[in-house]
């Protein structure tokens, strides 16, 4: 009787591990599709590993079963930090790092036997990563923030740039200014509609007073 019970338990745990691999695959496929720094294999292993560690913590941590599970969160924190890096104008990889963290929680839920919670968690993660991307793009389109590095002839006053920004209904802020061999380079932070940004770039290309620009 005890043998049959152990056999059933092992079989049940193997099913949980299999589910963790499938759910990790679903989330990893979404990140892989978007060509993020952590992809398919990473998320499968995170979900599977968290699930297995949770099962082990329940099995071997009879007196204190939450001790091993708590260390999963610490380990995932180091893993998440590895995918965060500073881009030219912003910090990148935070969404992927938090997705790794959320995937670990899904794996822990599976390992604890809360399969329905893990299925709901996976669905929510995929909705946040996929469906809300369109909402983010919509907001970004009407409130686009860019940093421009514009170089003009030193004889040209920075007010020339400010007049251009006003023409295209862009809010502006001067961040820093640098003078080099007769040229003046100013870094601006501009906020406004994405269409206005596109029109501004065309104007900067055609303006004879603008030597160079980048964003």
Reply yes or no on whether the pLDDT at 59 is more than 80: no
Residues 118 and 163 in one domain: no
Residues 60 and 126 in one domain: yes
Task: List the structure tokens of 78.
Answer: 């180091």
- For 36, other C-beta atoms within 10 Å of its C-beta total 19
Residues 52 and 118 in one domain: yes
Largest CA distance in the chain: 93
Residue (of 167, 171, 174, 172) closest to 200 by Cα position = 167
DSSP one-letter code for 197: H
The number of folded domains in the chain is 2
Q: Which residue, chain included where needed, has tokens 């946040």?
A: 128
Residues 29 and 80 in one domain: yes
Residues 12 and 117 in one domain: yes
Residues 17 and 89 in one domain: yes
Residues 70 and 84 in one domain: yes
Rounded CA-CA distance 169/127 in Å is 34
Domain-ending residue, one of 139, 157, 176: 139
Task: List the structure tokens of 50.
Answer: 């968290």
- Note the pLDDT of residue 120: 92
Residues 133 and 150 in one domain: no
Residues 56 and 9 in one domain: yes
Confidence class for position 7, pLDDT limits 50, 70, 90:
very low
What is the residue range of 102's domain? Answer: 2-139
Average pLDDT over residues 36-40: 75
Rounded CA-CA distance 131/125 in Å is 10
Residues 9 and 66 in one domain: yes
Partners of 150 in the β-ladder? 186, 213
Average pLDDT over residues 79-101: 75
- % residues pLDDT > 70 (the chain): 87
User: What pTM was estimated for this model as a whole?
Assistant: 0.69
Reply yes or no on whether the pLDDT at 4 is more than 70: no
- Note the pLDDT of residue 144: 84
Q: Which residue, chain included where needed, has tokens 């200014």?
A: 177
Residues 97-121: tens digit of each pLDDT:
888 888 988 998 898 888 888 999 8
Question: Residue 157 sits in a domain of what CATH number?
Answer: 3.30.70.260
Residues 11 and 54 in one domain: yes
Residues 143-161: tens digit of each pLDDT:
888 888 888 887 677 788 8
Secondary-structure breakdown of the chain: helix, strand, coil percentages, each rounded to the nearest 5 = 65, 20, 20
Domain-ending residue, one of 108, 139, 170: 139
Residues 166-202: tens digit of each pLDDT:
998 999 888 888 877 778 888 889 998 888 888 888 8
Give CA separation, 174 vs 34, 37, 87, 150, 151, in Å: 34, 33, 20, 11, 13
Average pLDDT over residues 15-31: 88
Residues 106 and 7 in one domain: yes
Instruction: State residue 59 phi and psi, 5-degree precision.
Output: -75, -45
């Amino acid at each position: 009787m005890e043998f049959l019970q152990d056999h059933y338990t092992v079989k049940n745990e193997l099913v949980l591990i299999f589910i963790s691999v499938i759910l990790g695959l679903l989330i990893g496929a979404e990140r892989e599709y978007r060509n993020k720094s952590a992809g398919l294999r990473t998320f499968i292993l995170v979900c599977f590993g968290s699930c297995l560690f949770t099962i082990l913590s329940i099995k071997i941590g009879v007196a204190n079963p939450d001790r091993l599970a708590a260390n999963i969160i610490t380990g995932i924190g180091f893993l998440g930090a590895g995918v965060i890096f500073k881009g030219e104008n912003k910090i990148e990889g935070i969404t992927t790092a938090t997705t790794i963290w959320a995937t670990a929680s899904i794996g822990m839920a599976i390992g604890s036997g809360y399969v329905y919670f893990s299925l709901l968690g996976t669905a929510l993660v995929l909705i946040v990563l996929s469906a809300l991307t369109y909402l983010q793009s919509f907001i970004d389109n009407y409130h686009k923030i860019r940093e421009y590095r514009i170089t003009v002839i030193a004889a040209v006053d920075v007010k020339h740039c400010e007049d251009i920004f006003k023409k295209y209904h862009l809010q502006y802020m001067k961040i820093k200014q640098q003078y080099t061999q007769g040229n003046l380079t100013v870094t601006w932070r501009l906020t406004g509609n994405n269409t206005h940004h596109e029109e501004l770039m065309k104007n900067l290309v055609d303006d004879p007073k603008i030597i160079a620009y980048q964003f």
